Amino acid sequence: MVPPSLEDQAAAFGCRVEIGGEPPEAEVAPVREAIATAPSNTAADLSERELFGRMGTAAMLPAMEAAFAAWRPELVLRETCEYAAVVAACRAGVAHAQVAISQGAIEASALGIAAPALDAHLRGIVAHVRSSTYLTRFPASLDPVSYPDTRRYKVPGPGTGAPLPRWWDDEALPLAYVSFGTVAGSMSSAAEVYRIALDAVAGLPLRVLLTVGNRVDVASLHPIPGNVRVEAFVPQDDVFAEASLVVCHGGSGTTFGALAAGLPIVFVPLFADQLPNARRVAEAGAGLRVLPSSPSGERPRARDFAPVRIAEAILAVLGDPSYARASERIAREMGSQASVDEIVEGLRPGGTRPRKARPGA
């Protein structure tokens, strides 16, 4: 089940899609914008308790419970910030597991922040979630989670990928993939973020692919350097199959997708889990963090990152093979984890994990 805004993306995977509810964009937009600019503690409250815990759960829960009544599922897999599914599962006595988005410590903190909003739906639900099966593709070396039943899985690597179009004059140059994820393009500072990235890579001996999502008018980003191709979206695996490094904000999808492909990363972290992700990967030697010019302790803004510092980090990562070796080591660790099929088979009723009693009963 997905909200209406994700229907097309979910259908593209060939799965049956049930449409749930989502808060009105007019209510979500100001919260999303505040999350990007507020102090860290305030941003966490807005994101985890207000947006996901209260607004998202209330909007999705009616359709979710109707789907449970109609489908009578045996097992529910939910991403950690989607709480309507676990409320419905607990009320129906259905087995469930959570699929991580971020590092375990971040997920556990987010659940604690959301707790007041969730307890309003079902007493005892937070403790039940903490003890439930926790699935993550993050490797133990970067994510020593504390959930009692943690199961790590691997996703298929990029393989050969579909060849990228010949967008550049010199196809022999290394390819840098630049992405700031799906949220940055919806924020008022989007043009500033992309402008800084474009200025950073202008003139470097690289082919550069910048993806900006479908909410950014590419014309607003001109002038675009000659070595850069700007697209709304390109399948990530196709890019990873050809890229030499990734430049990103540190969102978990891009970060751990790049590491699974054995690619080093240059980070320009702005908010949320981007900062701890960047720190962990840099400490592991698989990338570099670009430090902002903002005073210590203050939340960085796009304008705090100097293009010249980003350019220096890109050249340093490309020029030192130790970064690629570290990312390849992490890729091997991630590739040694269990397959998704093995994990799901172990979660089926009667498998390796017994169903827990309903909370609040």
For residues 150 and 259, membership in a common domain is answered with no
For residues 24 and 103, membership in a common domain is answered with yes
In a domain, 168, yes or no: no
pLDDT at 9: 78
pLDDT at 361: 36
CB 247 within 8 A of CB 272: no
Number of domains the chain is built from:
2
What are the beta bridge partners of residue 289?
267
Backbone φ and ψ of 95, nearest 5°: -65, 145
pLDDT at 210: 95
For residues 222 and 185, membership in a common domain is answered with yes
In a domain, 329, yes or no: yes
Domain containing 118 equals 4-156+338-347
For residues 343 and 314, membership in a common domain is answered with no
Task: Find all residues with CB under 8 Å of 184, minimum gap 6, and list them.
Answer: 190, 193, 213, 249, 270
In a domain, 358, yes or no: no
For residues 214 and 105, membership in a common domain is answered with no
What is the signed CA dihedral for 137, 139, 144, 150, rounded to 10 degrees? 40
pLDDT at 226: 94
In a domain, 170, yes or no: no
For residues 125 and 188, membership in a common domain is answered with no
In a domain, 314, yes or no: yes
In a domain, 70, yes or no: yes
For residues 188 and 250, membership in a common domain is answered with yes
For residues 198 and 291, membership in a common domain is answered with yes
For residues 203 and 303, membership in a common domain is answered with yes
For residues 205 and 75, membership in a common domain is answered with no
For the domain that residue 80 is a member of, what is the CATH number? 3.40.50.2000
Q: What whole-number distance in Å separates Cα of residue 165 and Cα of residue 18? A: 35
For residues 180 and 328, membership in a common domain is answered with yes
pLDDT at 208: 97
In a domain, 210, yes or no: yes
In a domain, 352, yes or no: no
pLDDT by residue for the chain (361 residues), tens only, comes to 988 888 887 888 788 888 999 999 899 888 887 877 777 778 888 989 999 999 999 999 999 999 999 988 989 999 999 999 999 999 999 988 999 988 999 899 999 999 999 999 988 899 889 988 999 999 999 998 778 899 999 987 666 667 899 999 998 999 999 998 765 544 555 678 899 999 999 999 999 999 988 777 888 888 999 999 999 889 888 999 999 999 999 988 899 899 999 999 999 987 778 888 999 999 999 999 998 876 555 666 777 788 999 999 999 999 999 999 999 999 999 999 999 888 888 887 665 443 343 444 3
Query: What is the sign, positive or negative, of the torsion defined by CA atoms of 42, 43, 44, 47?
Result: positive
For residues 112 and 147, membership in a common domain is answered with yes
CB 210 within 8 A of CB 180: no
